[in-house]
């Protein structure tokens, strides 16, 4: 380690300890899928374009700005040069304080390596971030003098050098170096620019913050000529000139960025509510959420909407659902998607495919309210389904429908979690403005390229805020107590300090700053427990989430209203349930009366139709009277009793047979009445007996016809019993809830990480350990060892005795050759059993597949 | 959290009346929520944009409304609803109509984009004049009502600060000897006068005429009173002469028969809306004097053309009187924008509790049709069905039985169909008042009824409104105008005038069972049930057996 520093990324990785490798792999899990065989391979993979792009996209704004600055710095660059680029000549204490953290982050992610004096950005990142005519850099800087003069004739270069006031040299390379030296020297450069006419300086001013390219005519004006002659502008193509990077940096006072953002913007609370109010509001909304999902699925009990051929719910069905739930369409889409993601509804998979509740829904219904909510909330938090997209169009301009394909967005769970974590960072009861939350998110995960207002993450964040409110995770915009528990976040007092061991460890992964930035002490939000460092609380693992959800349910349970066992009956034929009702009571009332208004209370209205429905469901008038008397806090009003008796008196008075379709009635006057009615003509009724009518029409038509005429006939079975028409709820076969679709491989857990690192290290040991040259020294270094089979056997047997490790060449069944380091344990029957350092396990190899064997060089 | 109020997601408020905080809460929410139903246990209020703007017009702000909801609510109030309340209330007053010293009537805004938005509307464009400055635009004075109406429809109600003309002064005093305005009447007059223009909602029999008289005494100016019919006009005149310093000569009647224009003129809606050769010849009445006050009796019946004329009268004070703001045509918002917001409202039961209207026993008598009647009913043409079941013979027997039971008391029999009434009149040996009865004859009969010379009077729907029959204690309704809720309320009002001996009033509704008559009755009764008048149901057979 006393060497001048690592010479490659692989070497730099080799120098890192396990914890720091684990941090790298956690931040970039794509690197270990599949597990690389050694650190060289890891380094190669870390340098691939796809992986680097992915890593860059996950940097916060300041780290990205640092990487961009490194991309325009010399390669390698010293820390001081980088600091100069970030702060400019004047210096900026905040940037100075924040930079170590940013560099540490870049190092940790293996985007930067090398000692403090030789910081190197990995080549791919440099290519991605360095300015080129096709991809102008976000810094607005152009190419260096050296790059820009690459194709220039030596004569022209000499002319420029001389005009700029330097001595001519005998070759272009030294001329360019001299020119670069001049441009980098603030004093001489100032003098050079002072000579330039004012117009020329204006031209430079226009280009200084980029884009650095300008158009010139074939015969440039004098002030442009002046600049071109001194190399202050260099031609790139006919008619195009560029401001060399060194000149721009001089004009910018050394700054690579016009503005740097070393500190994350803190989400500002716009209102602070009492925590009790927040919790109560959220609990109220949580209750509404449960009621809405139940109502939705009950609505679909008798045949839900059809599944579109392309999958999903038609716009009309969504509209209808929205009307039924009395919410707007986007909100209806949210509930539908939530129920789907929670596995409560699915397609029934029949020929005429329809959506319906799953058996899981029935189980869910049986659970206590708080647990039902926890299931919904947990589903929402981890789902990749994104209801906010419903109604929009995909890249191919196809409409995105609710429950349809194309709604999965892998960023959704992460954004939801992040937004809620930000809320959790605020004091209890504080509601931030959505814009300040968005600002913060943009800082943490800036888009490369131009900023847009409605990029996916911003939209996801906005949806998260509204959905959290709908679901009762937040109340009045502030995170509720149970919402906090759902995140697994500690109580707010603890959150201020982030004292939890788990979180401290994780915040270390992102901040990783050996020195916690000093700005925390003088930051503007010092008094608020707002994090100035981007603390990334990782989403919980499924078992942890289950624990957190259960905790949330426990917190929520006492806040939910207790179901009541009574209603208030009134003379205007309404019943008011002044709170949620116990399930059997609610079910019965739903049949017996129509719901008129919902919310904290429910207003039911009794109508002849609703009473008939109850009678149709097999209740008798006396049942209904007893039911009302038992559950009413107030005497049953006389008009209501009359209504029930009236309907009951008429109910079933007429009986309609299914098999032969007949009407029978003891009262022949009534049959006369029917026969005389013109509207009965279409039913083609025929009088069988004074009390019986028959028809060719099917019973349903007959029933409808008679009801339309104002009668209340009852259907009759073959045995003469009244057929009870109580609808059965429609269910799908058992269905699994859709799996979230994560972006990239899952974050590896500790076991996998340890195993991966051991494997990589072992592979590395195999490939890098110096080997003893075989005595014959015939095999060139690096090739598979080749020895005769007798020699192989002998060496192996010797190794068993000495316990030494051997380096073998091995060809597997597919004929692929590999090198392995093994410690033979046993040699018998044409097989060698050995501990394989490469695979980190004991394996058995057939000796005939071993191409050769070599002893390892002695370790020095 | 154990308040008396439950806030529903459909913006209705349920108030538990037996709760100890119920009164307090009622006062707090009455300012912005409309009482929709007031049955015995739970009253239902509704929060509407109109109600919220009414509250803004009365000087309440969104914070007070939100506070009231949050304070009394039993369950957490949905955040979205609170936001909606604040946003809705915020829309009021962004635009104001006011008098500009040089440009006359102007529409000004505190929020320029709103002004831009409304000016872009095709319906607003013809009503405004030149743009005076970015925030101000001139309005043709004649379009003051029109623009208010249109702005309300666009959802940006304008606050009308342009004030009123005083009108031609005329001395009017209340003549309070031996009687005085009741506290709620005083309150109503005060609220109206303070607000400038608006509607007072009081139950039938609660003395709306006196609120009108009180307002006139406040205004002390020439007054135009618009009433539903001639009988009602005479009633007003009679009452005004009795209760105020006005004399017979100062009060003119402008009706089909007489065309007098005096300092106080009482005109009927009918004469105003009479159209000859495509024009309304009597419209000039509005301009014939410099009226300081216009009173609209039974404002819920205001015919559509009168709305149009009213739009032109925005500079005059307007008082609307009604028992119910329920309009079967749903034009409540026109009443709001053209007459004014609701200034006073009291639940019927509350006034009954104070003893100002008589307690009433409402009974629905269910009559069974005979078999032959049922057959005839089933075969009747659709449009004849109601007439058939409403005029069934059985009803006559029941009516006679009721009349017998209350023999000696003042009884009104009210119906829709003249044949039925004539027949009833014959059987009961009672005079019949119907459309063709001359006004002189009507007044004679009413006087006789009032004096107790005759105790049973059969009336058609001409008697629905505004006839003062103080001693009627029993009303029997045999048929009505289909399902009209306000007719039912008016008819009940006939018996609600406080009785000299303080005894109960009876309101009987005779209904044919299992017919559309019963369906209509249910619809009609709903309004009263919602006002707390619960119906008892009695079988005709029972009643006849007792009788």
Whether residue A809 lies inside any domain: the answer is: yes
The yes-or-no verdict on residue A141 having pLDDT over 90 is no
Please choose, from the candidates A561, A546, A565, the residue with its C-alpha nearest in 3D space to the C-alpha of residue A286. A561
The yes-or-no verdict on residue A368 having pLDDT over 80 is yes
Whether residues A303 and A408 share a domain: the answer is yes
Whether residues A295 and A281 share a domain: the answer is yes
Whether residues A339 and A401 share a domain: the answer is yes
| Pairwise CA distance, residues A242 & A131, whole Å | 12
Closest-CA residue of A relative to B519 is A608
Tokens of B520: 């209509």
Who wins on pLDDT, A602 or B500?
A602
Cβ atoms B278, B289 nearer than 8 A: no
What is the mean pLDDT of the segment spanning A173-197? Answer: 84
The yes-or-no verdict on residue A46 having pLDDT over 60 is yes
Cβ atoms B154, B226 nearer than 8 A: no
β-strands B198-201, B342-345: how paired?
A: parallel
Please choose, from the candidates A860, A823, A815, the residue with its C-alpha nearest in 3D space to the C-alpha of residue A841. A823
Q: Which of A352-361, B102-111, B198-207 has the lowest mean pLDDT?
A: B198-207
Per-residue confidence at A92, pLDDT binned at 50, 70, 90? Answer: confident
What is the mean pLDDT of the segment spanning A471-489? Answer: 86
The yes-or-no verdict on residue B189 having pLDDT over 60 is yes
* pLDDT the model gives residue A341: 92
| Total Cβ atoms within 10 A of residue B238 | 15
The yes-or-no verdict on residue A334 having pLDDT over 90 is yes
| Pairwise CA distance, residues B240 & B162, whole Å | 31
Write the CA distances from A852 to A797, A804, A819, A835, A856, integer angstroms: 14, 16, 10, 17, 13
The yes-or-no verdict on residue B151 having pLDDT over 70 is yes
Residue B7 is nearest to which of A475, A599, A670, comparing CB atoms? Answer: A599
Tokens of B540: 């005709």
Q: Where among A204, A219, A251 does a domain terminate? A: A251
Whether residues A806 and A665 share a domain: the answer is no
The SS3 assignment for B429 reads coil
Whether residues A58 and A179 share a domain: the answer is no
Whether residue A525 lies inside any domain: the answer is: no
Q: Which of A163-167, A280-284, B431-435 has the lowest mean pLDDT?
A: A163-167
Beta-carbon separation of B8 and A650 below 8 A: no
Q: What is the mean pLDDT of chain B?
A: 83
Over residues B221-270, the pLDDT tens digits come to: 999 998 887 777 888 888 899 889 989 899 998 888 888 888 999 998 88
Please choose, from the candidates B477, B463, B485, B494, the residue with its C-alpha nearest in 3D space to the C-alpha of residue B531. B485
Per-residue confidence at A311, pLDDT binned at 50, 70, 90? Answer: confident
The yes-or-no verdict on residue A495 having pLDDT over 90 is no
Beta-carbon separation of A599 and B9 below 8 A: yes
The yes-or-no verdict on residue A258 having pLDDT over 90 is no
Over residues A7-43, the pLDDT tens digits come to: 888 888 888 888 888 888 888 888 887 788 888 888 8
* pLDDT the model gives residue A782: 57
Tokens of B368: 């069974």
* pLDDT the model gives residue A338: 92
| Pairwise CA distance, residues A120 & A70, whole Å | 8
Cβ atoms A464, A422 nearer than 8 A: no
Q: Where among A507, A529, A558 does a domain terminate? A: A558
Per-residue confidence at A376, pLDDT binned at 50, 70, 90? Answer: very high
| Total Cβ atoms within 10 A of residue B310 | 25
Q: Using a CB-CB distance cutoff of 8 angstroms, which residues of chain B are in contact with residue A638? A: 534, 536-537
The yes-or-no verdict on residue A496 having pLDDT over 50 is no
| Pairwise CA distance, residues B526 & B532, whole Å | 10
* pLDDT the model gives residue B295: 92
Beta-carbon separation of B379 and A676 below 8 A: yes
* pLDDT the model gives residue B216: 92
Whether residues A182 and A314 share a domain: the answer is no
Whether residue A542 lies inside any domain: the answer is: no
Domain tally, chain A: 6
Tokens of A591: 């049949």
Closest-CA residue of B relative to A633 is B41
The yes-or-no verdict on residue A2 having pLDDT over 50 is no
How far from chain centre, in Å, is Cα A640? 54
Angle at B534 between CA B530 and CA B536, to 5 degrees: 150
Whether residue A531 lies inside any domain: the answer is: no
Per-residue confidence at A513, pLDDT binned at 50, 70, 90? Answer: very low
Who wins on pLDDT, B348 or A679?
A679
* pLDDT the model gives residue A332: 92
| Pairwise CA distance, residues B325 & B331, whole Å | 9
Whether residues A242 and A295 share a domain: the answer is no
Over residues A536-555, the pLDDT tens digits come to: 456 677 888 888 888 888 88
Over residues A377-409, the pLDDT tens digits come to: 999 988 889 898 888 887 788 888 888 888 888
Residue tagged 């170590």 (tokens): A100
Whether residue A259 lies inside any domain: the answer is: no
Whether residues A337 and A353 share a domain: the answer is yes
β-strands B505-512, B474-477: how paired?
A: parallel
Whether residues A315 and A427 share a domain: the answer is yes
| Percent residues over pLDDT 70 in chain B | 95
The SS3 assignment for A509 reads helix
* pLDDT the model gives residue A339: 92
Whether residues A413 and A484 share a domain: the answer is yes
Cβ atoms B463, B414 nearer than 8 A: yes
What is the distance in angstroms between the Cα of B40 and the nearest Cα belonging to chain A?
6
Per-residue confidence at A703, pLDDT binned at 50, 70, 90? Answer: confident
pTM over 0.90: no
Who wins on pLDDT, B418 or A220?
B418
Beta-carbon separation of B40 and A570 below 8 A: yes
Whether residues A225 and A241 share a domain: the answer is yes
Beta-carbon separation of B529 and A573 below 8 A: yes
Beta-carbon separation of A578 and B79 below 8 A: no
Over residues B287-297, the pLDDT tens digits come to: 778 888 999 98
Domain that holds residue A841: 769-855
* pLDDT the model gives residue B99: 85
- Three-state secondary structure readout of A516-552: CCCHHHHCCCCCCCCCCCCCCCCCCCHHHHHHHHHHH
Beta-carbon separation of A597 and B77 below 8 A: no
The answer to whether residue B10 neighbours chain A at the CB level (below 8 Å) is yes
The yes-or-no verdict on residue B146 having pLDDT over 50 is yes
* pLDDT the model gives residue A520: 38
The yes-or-no verdict on residue B285 having pLDDT over 80 is no
Q: Where among A129, A162, A187 does a domain terminate? A: A129
What is the mean pLDDT of the segment spanning A132-147? Answer: 77
The yes-or-no verdict on residue B485 having pLDDT over 80 is no
Please choose, from the candidates A60, A66, A41, the residue with its C-alpha nearest in 3D space to the C-alpha of residue A51. A41
* pLDDT the model gives residue A333: 92
Write the CA distances from B190 to A726, B173, B216, B308, integer angstroms: 59, 15, 12, 28
* pLDDT the model gives residue A87: 85
Residue tagged 């998979």 (tokens): A349
Q: Using a CB-CB distance cutoff of 8 angstroms, which residues of chain B are in contact with residue A597? A: 8-10, 12, 14, 44
What is the mean pLDDT of the segment spanning B189-217? Answer: 85
End-to-end, the C-alpha distance of chain B in Å comes to: 53
Asked if the ipTM is above 0.95, the reply is: no
| Percent residues over pLDDT 70 in chain A | 88
Q: Using a CB-CB distance cutoff of 8 angstroms, which residues of chain A are in contact with residue B379? A: 676-678
Whether residues A793 and A706 share a domain: the answer is no
> Could you tell me which residues come within 8 angstroms of residue B123 by beta carbon, excluding any fewer than 6 positions away?
B150, B153, B154
Residue tagged 């009303």 (tokens): B475
Over residues A802-821, the pLDDT tens digits come to: 878 888 888 888 888 888 88
The answer to whether residue B536 neighbours chain A at the CB level (below 8 Å) is yes
Who wins on pLDDT, A689 or A437?
A437
| Pairwise CA distance, residues B437 & B147, whole Å | 43
Whether residue A736 lies inside any domain: the answer is: no
Q: Which helix (H) or strand (E) holds B367?
A: strand B360-367
Over residues A579-595, the pLDDT tens digits come to: 888 888 888 888 899 88
* pLDDT the model gives residue A684: 78
């Amino acid at each position: 380690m006393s060497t001048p520093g690592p010479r490659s990324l692989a070497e730099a990785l080799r120098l890192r300890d396990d914890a720091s490798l684990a941090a790298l792999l956690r931040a970039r899990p794509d690197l270990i899928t599949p597990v690389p065989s050694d650190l060289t391979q890891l380094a190669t993979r870390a340098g691939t374009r796809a992986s680097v792009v992915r890593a860059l996209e996950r940097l916060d704004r300041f780290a990205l700005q640092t990487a961009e600055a490194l991309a325009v710095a010399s390669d390698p660059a010293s820390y001081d040069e980088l600091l100069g680029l970030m702060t400019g000549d004047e210096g900026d204490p905040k940037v100075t304080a924040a930079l170590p953290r940013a560099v540490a982050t870049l190092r940790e992610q293996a985007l930067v390596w090398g000692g403090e004096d030789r910081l190197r950005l990995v080549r791919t990142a440099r290519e991605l971030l360095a300015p080129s005519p096709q991809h102008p850099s976000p810094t607005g800087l152009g190419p260096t003098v050296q790059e820009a003069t690459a194709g220039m004739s030596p004569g022209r270069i000499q002319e420029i050098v001389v005009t700029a006031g330097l001595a001519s040299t005998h070759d272009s390379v030294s001329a360019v170096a001299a020119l670069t030296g001049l441009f980098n020297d603030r004093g001489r450069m100032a003098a050079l620019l002072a000579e330039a006419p004012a117009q020329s300086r204006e031209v430079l001013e226009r280009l200084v913050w980029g884009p650095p390219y300008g158009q010139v005519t074939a015969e440039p004006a004098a002030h442009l000529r002046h600049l071109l002659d001194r190399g202050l502008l260099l031609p790139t193509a006919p008619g195009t000139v560029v401001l060399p990077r060194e000149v721009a940096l001089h004009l910018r006072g050394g700054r690579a960025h016009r503005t740097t953002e070393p500190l994350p913007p803190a989400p500002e609370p716009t209102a602070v509510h009492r925590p009790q109010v927040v919790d109560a509001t959220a609990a109220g909304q949580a209750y509404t959420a449960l009621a809405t999902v139940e109502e939705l699925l009950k609505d679909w009990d008798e045949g839900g909407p059809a599944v579109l051929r392309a999958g999903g719910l038609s716009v009309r069905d969504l509209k209808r659902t929205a009307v039924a739930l009395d919410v707007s369409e986007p909100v209806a889409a949210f509930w539908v998607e939530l129920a789907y993601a929670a596995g409560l509804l699915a397609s029934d998979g029949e020929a005429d495919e329809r959506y319906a509740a799953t058996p899981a829904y029935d189980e869910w219904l049986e659970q206590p309210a708080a647990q039902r909510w926890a299931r919904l909330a947990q589903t929402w938090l981890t789902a990749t389904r994104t209801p906010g997209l419903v109604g929009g169009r995909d890249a191919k301009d196809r409409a995105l429908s609710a429950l349809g394909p194309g709604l999965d967005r892998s960023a959704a769970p992460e954004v939801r979690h992040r937004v809620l974590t930000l809320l959790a960072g605020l004091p209890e009861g504080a509601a931030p403005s959505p814009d300040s939350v968005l600002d913060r998110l943009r800082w943490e995960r800036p888009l490369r390229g131009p900023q847009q207002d409605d990029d996916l993450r911003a939209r996801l964040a906005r949806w998260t805020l509204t959905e959290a409110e709908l679901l009762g995770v937040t109340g009045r915009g502030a995170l509720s107590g149970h919402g906090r528990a759902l995140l697994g976040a500690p109580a707010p007092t603890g959150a201020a300090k982030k004292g939890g061991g788990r979180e401290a460890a994780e915040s270390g992964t992102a901040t990783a700053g050996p020195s916690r930035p000093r700005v925390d002490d003088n930051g503007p939000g010092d008094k608020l427990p707002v994090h100035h460092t981007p603390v990334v609380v990782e989403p919980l693992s499924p078992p942890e989430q289950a624990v957190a959800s259960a905790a949330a349910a426990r917190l929520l349970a006492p806040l939910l209203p207790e179901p009541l066992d009574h209603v208030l009956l009134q003379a205007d034929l309404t019943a008011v349930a002044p709170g949620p009702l116990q399930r059997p009571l609610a079910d019965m009332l739903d049949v017996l009366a129509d719901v008129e208004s919902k919310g904290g209370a429910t207003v039911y209205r009794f109508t002849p139709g609703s009473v008939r429905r109850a009678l149709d469901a097999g209740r008798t008038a006396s049942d209904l009277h007893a039911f009302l008397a038992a559950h009413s806090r107030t005497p049953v009003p006389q008009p209501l009793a009359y209504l029930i008796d009236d309907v009951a008196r008429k109910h079933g008075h007429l009986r309609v047979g299914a098999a032969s379709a007949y009407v029978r009635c003891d009262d022949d006057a009534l049959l006369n009445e029917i026969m005389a009615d013109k509207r009965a003509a279409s039913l083609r009724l025929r009088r069988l007996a004074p009390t019986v009518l028959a028809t060719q029409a099917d019973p349903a038509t007959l029933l409808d016809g008679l009801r339309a005429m104002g009668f209340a006939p009852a259907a009759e079975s073959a045995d003469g019993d009244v057929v009870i028409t109580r609808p059965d709820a429609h269910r799908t076969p058992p269905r699994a809830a859709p799996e979230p679709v994560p972006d990239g491989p899952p974050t590896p857990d500790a076991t996998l990480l340890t195993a991966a690192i051991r494997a990589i290290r072992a592979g590395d040991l195999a490939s890098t350990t110096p080997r003893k040259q075989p005595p014959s020294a015939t095999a060139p270094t690096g090739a598979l060892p080749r020895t005769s089979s007798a020699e192989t056997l002998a060496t192996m047997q010797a190794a068993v005795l000495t316990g030494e490790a051997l380096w073998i060449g091995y060809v597997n069944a597919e004929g692929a050759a590999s090198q392995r380091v093994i410690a033979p344990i046993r040699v018998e029957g044409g097989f060698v059993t050995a501990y394989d350092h490469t695979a980190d396990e004991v394996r058995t190899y057939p000796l005939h597949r071993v191409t050769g064997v070599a002893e390892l060089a002695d370790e020095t | 959290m154990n308040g008396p109020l439950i806030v529903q997601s459909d913006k209705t408020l349920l108030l538990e009346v037996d709760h100890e905080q119920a009164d307090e809460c009622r006062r707090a929410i009455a300012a912005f929520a409309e009482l929709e139903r007031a049955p015995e246990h739970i009253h239902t209020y509704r929060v509407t944009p109109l109600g919220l703007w009414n509250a803004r017009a009365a000087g309440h702000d969104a914070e007070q409304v939100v506070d009231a909801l949050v304070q009394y609510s039993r369950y957490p109030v949905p955040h979205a609803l609170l936001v909606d309340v604040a946003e809705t209330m915020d829309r009021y007053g962004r635009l104001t109509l006011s008098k500009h010293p040089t440009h006359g009537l102007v529409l000004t805004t505190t929020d320029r984009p709103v002004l831009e938005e409304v000016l872009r509307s095709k319906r607003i464009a013809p009503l405004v004049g030149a743009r005076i400055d970015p925030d101000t635009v001139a309005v043709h004075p004649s379009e003051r009502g029109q623009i208010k109406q249109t702005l309300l429809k666009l959802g940006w109600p304008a606050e009308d600060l342009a004030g009123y003309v005083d009108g031609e002064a005329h001395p009017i005093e209340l003549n309070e000897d031996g009687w005085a305005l009741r506290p709620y009447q005083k309150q109503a007059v005060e609220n109206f006068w303070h607000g400038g223009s608006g509607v007072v909602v009081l139950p039938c029999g609660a003395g709306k005429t006196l609120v009108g008289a009180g307002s006139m005494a406040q205004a002390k100016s020439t007054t135009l009173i618009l009433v539903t019919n001639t009988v009602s006009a005479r009633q007003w005149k009679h009452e005004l002469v009795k209760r105020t310093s006005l004399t017979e000569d100062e009060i003119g009647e402008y009706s089909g028969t007489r065309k007098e224009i005096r300092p106080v003129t009482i005109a009927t809606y009918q004469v105003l809306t009479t159209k000859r050769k495509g024009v309304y010849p009597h419209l000039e009445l509005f301009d014939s004097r410099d009226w300081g006050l216009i009173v609209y009796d039974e404002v819920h019946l205001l015919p559509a053309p009168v709305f149009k004329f009213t739009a032109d009268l925005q500079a005059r004070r307007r008082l609307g009187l009604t028992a119910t703001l329920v309009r079967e045509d749903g034009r409540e918002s026109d009443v709001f924008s053209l007459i004014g917001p609701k200034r006073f409202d009291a639940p019927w039961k509350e006034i009954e509790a104070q003893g100002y209207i008589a307690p009433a026993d409402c009974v629905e008598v269910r009559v069974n049709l005979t078999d032959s009647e049922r057959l005839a009913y089933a075969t009747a043409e659709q449009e004849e069905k109601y007439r058939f079941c409403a005029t069934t013979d059985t009803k006559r027997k029941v009516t006679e039985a009721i009349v017998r039971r209350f023999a000696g008391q003042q009884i009104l029999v009210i119906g829709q169909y003249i044949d039925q009434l004539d027949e009833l009149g014959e059987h009961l040996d009672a005079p019949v008042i119907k459309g063709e009865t001359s006004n002189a004859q009507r007044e004679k009969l009413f006087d006789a009824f009032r004096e107790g010379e005759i105790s049973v009077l059969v009336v058609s729907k001409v008697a629905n409104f505004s006839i003062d029959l103080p001693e009627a204690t029993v009303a029997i309704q045999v048929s009505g105008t289909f399902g009209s809720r306000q007719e039912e309320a008016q008819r009940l009002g006939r018996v609600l005038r406080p009785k000299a001996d303080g005894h109960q009033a009876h309101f009987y509704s005779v209904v044919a069972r299992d017919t559309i008559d019963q369906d209509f009755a249910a619809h009609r009764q709903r309004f009263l049930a919602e006002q707390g008048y619960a119906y008892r149901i009695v079988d005709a057979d029972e009643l006849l057996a007792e009788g």
